[in-house]
Structure 1
Amino acid sequence: MTSIFLQAQGAQGGGWSMILMFVAIFAIMYFFMIRPQQKRQKEIQKFQNELTTGTPVVTGGGIYGTVKSIDLAKNTVDVKIAHDVVVTVDKNSVFKDMNSTPLQK
């Protein structure tokens, strides 16, 4: 009979520890997964908003090229991918080319 009473008392204290554990897991997920992803997304958005002619980029499909012109009304970018080859892509599918060196002005 005493062991049943002790088990019932132990179960009552487990609720707070379970809530604390869920809060700790959420905090860990936020600081290691959600927050860095939000920072990366802001950097990508900043890069896309500051695009200029001649900037080396990579399209969402993996095509490397340089920005030839930007049409803000249509939200598109003309990307030169080879000699006399220009493709038009959505501005949101253009990312920074990490392999290239910055252009000298």
Structure 2
Amino acid sequence: MFATPAYAQAADGVGGAFASFVPLILIFAIMYFLLIRPQQKKVKEHQKMVEALRRGDQVVTAGGLIGKVSKVKEDGELEVELSEGVKVRVVKSTISQVLNKTEPAKS
């Protein structure tokens, strides 16, 4: 006459197991579209900006220094001139903003 706990749990079946994962799947989808995807987009834009740096561009570093690129090195470094005669080596990825772009040289 009374249902035992084993029968009550078995009545839930496969549909109940899937239904318990639906909220978890929805949370992951929301997190992906609101957090992960925009961050990946931002990183790609920053990489494009860093790869497009050339001599003469005025840049802002992550530390807040403003200077002009005087030399682009192959090993991920830049030489930035902060003022006349003051040049510093900077890692490319620490460039946060490009203020003024130079026009490409005409061939």
TM-score by length of 2: 0.74
Once the 2 structures are TM-superposed, how far is the Cα of residue 83 of structure 1 from its aligned partner? 3.1
Residue matched to 1:81? 82
Residue matched to 2:29? 27
Residue matched to 2:96? 95
The root-mean-square deviation of aligned C-alpha atoms, in Å, is: 2.6
Task: Provide Cα deviations, 1:58-99, integer angstroms capped at 9, x if missing partner.
Answer: 223222222121111x321011222322111111222224xx
The code of the aligned residue for 1:81 comes to L
Task: Provide Cα deviations, 1:13-32, integer angstroms capped at 9, x if missing partner.
Answer: 54322211111111101101
Once the 2 structures are TM-superposed, how far is the Cα of residue 6 of structure 1 from its aligned partner? 9.2
Q: Structure 1 runs of 4+ off > 3 angstroms?
A: 4-14, 102-105
Structure 1 residues 75 and 12, CA, compared in 2 at 3 Å: closer, same or farther? closer
Gaps of 5+ in 2: none
Q: Helix, strand or coil for the counterpart of 1:43? A: helix
Determine which structure has more spread, i.e. the larger CA radius of gyration: 2
Residue matched to 2:45? 43
Provide the aligned length of Structure 1 versus Structure 2. Answer: 101
- Percent identity reads 33
The code of the aligned residue for 1:41 comes to V
Task: Provide Cα deviations, 1:19-47, integer angstroms capped at 9, x if missing partner.
Answer: 11111111101101000000000000001
> Bigger shift: 21-30 or 51-60?
51-60
TM-score by length of 1: 0.75
Q: Helix, strand or coil for the counterpart of 2:71? A: strand
